[in-house]
């Protein structure tokens, strides 16, 4: 039973639902049942199908899009006509946003490593540090130029997972194409004018791979009660911001920026709980083994027991050699 104080609007527009289903199915078909080159372009196929379905149902009119297009075929990007300012009150939410973006970059980079390496075992922190640095540098330059904060695109990783393609031969031309949209406003308007139901279908398509990819990363590590509580509590409270937003309305003003976003709530909680639940865990353990004996079961149990809470195995100590008996 759902409490009456938390009403949920379940009414849907049949035409919007039809557009979304057509777009989603158009992307699923080449991904599952096609072995030709078409499986490399599910997003383009879905966008085209979404536009066609919206045109047929009357939710989209090409003439209206043409009328709203900016004048001129070629245009150069320009800095927003605003000055630079700094407000100390915005520092806490920006720090939380930076932490969230950095952790997201870590997760996206790790998932990319797993996609490209069939023998992946653990995160390559050198690669992750480079990704976090590039993300931070891009955000800083964007802010100085009057733009918005930048972050890695998880949806793009979802497309890579769907198509099984991660080659730089594809990434570089696509990157140049996206950058080129800034100089061709009419082409950018066509992309931005995609009907809302079709956009939702695209997000569902990529989210399927992102969510399952994240769960694979999560379950690839040994889980104990501490890690399960840290992830589970953070996830539940993060979802509560979207499901029951009125729950945090009475919070103090300085906390509202944190509890206004499900991402910020989940990020802050998972960091705090991870640090809290580390209390009482010894960081290093050692195991003493005697030469000439079979310790396979003992080693397996030791690694399993100590690996779940993330204890570092410092060393395996062999016993001193026994003197030879005549």
**pLDDT, tens digit (0-9, with 9 covering 90-100), for 247-264:** 888 888 777 777 888 888
Inter-residue long-range contacts of 205-209, CB under 8 Å, 24+ positions, other chains counted: 205/24, 205/27, 205/28, 205/42, 205/43, 205/46, 205/158, 205/162, 206/154, 206/155, 206/156, 206/158, 206/159, 206/162, 207/155, 207/158, 208/158, 209/157, 209/158, 209/159, 209/161, 209/162
The pLDDT score that the predictor gives to residue 7 is: 43
Whole-number pLDDT of residue 250: 85
In a domain, 243, yes or no: yes
Residue 287: per-residue pLDDT: 72
Inside any domain, residue 81: no
Whether residue 326 is contained in a domain is answered as no
Looking at residue 282, what is its pLDDT? 63
- Residue 311 confidence class, pLDDT cut points 50, 70, 90: low
Look at residues 221, 239, 257 and tell me which one is the last residue of a structural domain: 221
Range ranked top by mean pLDDT from 59-68, 171-180, 304-313: 171-180
Residue 233: pLDDT band by 50, 70, 90 thresholds? very high
In this structure, are 160 and 217 located in the same domain? yes
Q: Rounded mean pLDDT of 295-306?
A: 70
- What is the value of pTM for the model shown? 0.72
Say whether both 119 and 176 belong to one domain. no
In terms of domains, do 70 and 48 share one? yes
Q: Is residue 270 part of a domain?
A: yes
Q: Which domain holds residue 291?
A: 284-316
Would you call 153 helix, strand, or coil by DSSP? Answer: coil
264, 246, 242, 267: which is closest to 255 by C-alpha?
A: 264
β-strands 284-289, 312-318 pairing:
parallel
Residue 269 has pLDDT above 50, yes or no: yes
Does residue 5 belong to any structural domain of this protein?
A: no
235 shares its domain with 207: no
Domain count, the chain: 4
**pLDDT tens column, 31-88:** 888 878 888 889 889 989 999 999 888 888 777 777 777 777 788 877 766 667 777 8
Does the residue 80 lie in any domain? no
- Residue 322 predicted with pLDDT over 60: no
Q: What is the mean pLDDT of residues 114-123?
A: 82
Residue 63 and residue 113 share a domain: no
Q: What is the pLDDT of residue 4?
A: 42
In this prediction, residue 3 carries a pLDDT of 44
What is the model's pLDDT at position 309? 57
Mean per-residue pLDDT of the chain: 79
Same domain, 125 and 270: no
């Amino acid at each position: 039973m759902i409490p009456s104080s938390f009403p949920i609007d379940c009414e849907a527009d049949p035409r919007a639902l039809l557009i979304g289903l057509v777009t989603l199915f158009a992307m699923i078909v080449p991904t599952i049942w096609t072995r030709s080159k078409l499986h490399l372009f599910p997003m383009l196929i879905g966008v085209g199908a979404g536009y066609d379905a919206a045109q047929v149902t009357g939710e989209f009119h090409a003439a209206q899009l043409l009328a709203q297009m900016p004048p001129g075929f070629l245009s150069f990007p320009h800095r927003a006509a605003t000055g630079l300012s700094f407000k100390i009150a915005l520092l806490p939410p920006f720090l939380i946003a930076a932490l969230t973006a950095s952790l997201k970059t870590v997760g996206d980079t790790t998932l990319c490593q797993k996609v490209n390496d069939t023998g992946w075992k653990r995160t390559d922190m050198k690669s992750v540090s480079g990704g976090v640095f590039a993300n931070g540098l891009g955000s800083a330059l964007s802010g100085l130029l009057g733009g918005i904060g930048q972050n890695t695109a998880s949806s793009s990783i979802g497309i890579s997972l769907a198509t099984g393609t991660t080659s730089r031969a594809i990434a570089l031309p696509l990157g140049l194409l996206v950058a080129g949209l800034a100089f061709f406003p009419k082409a950018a308007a066509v992309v931005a004018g995609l009907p809302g139901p079709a956009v939702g279908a695209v997000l569902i398509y990529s989210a399927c791979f992102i969510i399952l990819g994240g769960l694979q990363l999560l379950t690839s590590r040994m889980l104990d009660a501490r890690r399960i509580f840290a992830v589970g509590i953070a996830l539940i409270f993060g979802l509560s911001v979207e499901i029951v937003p009125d729950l945090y309305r009475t919070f103090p003003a300085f906390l509202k920026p944190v509890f206004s976003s499900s991402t910020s709530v989940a990020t802050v909680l998972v960091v705090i709980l991870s640090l809290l639940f580390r209390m009482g865990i010894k960081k290093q353990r050692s195991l003493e083994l005697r030469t000439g004996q079979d310790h396979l079961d003992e080693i397996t149990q030791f690694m399993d027991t100590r690996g779940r809470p993330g204890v570092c195995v410092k060393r395996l100590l062999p016993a001193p050699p026994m003197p030879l008996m005549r």
